[in-house]
Amino acid sequence: QLQLQESGPGLVKPSETLSLTCTVSGGSISSNNNFWGWIRQPPGKGLEWIGSIYYSGSTYYNPSLKSRVTISEDTSKNQFSLKLTSVTAADTAVYYCARQRSNWNYPAWFDPWGQGTLVTVSS
């Protein structure tokens, strides 16, 4: 059974870089036809897609965050990571990682999801 687990600092200072890692177990991130994605949810609000990385390494980002986001993968550790630069209080959210199915080589639906990790941006 595929499982994902987010890890990283729960508190980040304004203007600094948020870094999170998603560790995948029960399957390989190098397997064909899978994307690996990041989604966030501010407290009490809805879901926002951040970006996705294909098993081949190609990436897709939310245009509203693209200038600040980098998603990468480490196949040797079966992990993928998120970096979000120049954070502000508006980036405070629960951050989820998830597997995504590929739909004609584009990222599609998310399943399963990690449990999520709360990241607070505050000095």
Partner 1 sequence: EIVLTQSPGTLSLSPGERVTLSCRASQSVSSSYLAWYQQKPGQAPRLLIYHASSRATGIPDRFSGSGSGTDFTLTISRLEPEDFAVYYCQQYGSSSLTFGGGTKVEIK
- Contacting residues toward partner 1, per CB under 8 A: 46-49, 52, 60, 62-63, 96, 98, 101, 103, 106-116
End-to-end CA distance of the chain: 39
8 or 16: CB nearest partner 1 = 8
Of residues 10 and 46, the one with the C-beta less far from partner 1: 46
Question: Could you tell me the smallest distance in angstroms from the CB atom of residue 2 to partner 1?
Answer: 11
Task: Identify which of residues 16 and 70 has a Cβ nearer to partner 1 in the complex.
Answer: 70
Question: CB of 112: closest distance to partner 1 in angstroms?
Answer: 8
Closest CB 82 distance from partner 1, rounded Å: 15
Eight-state DSSP code of residue 10:
S
Nearer to partner 1, 15 or 118 (CB): 118
Half-sphere CA count of 7, side-chain side, radius 13 A:
8
Inter-residue contact 41 to 48 (CB < 8 Å): yes
What is the helix (H) or strand (E) element at residue 97, kind and residue range?
A: strand 93-103
CB atoms under 10 Å from CB of 109, counted, come to: 11
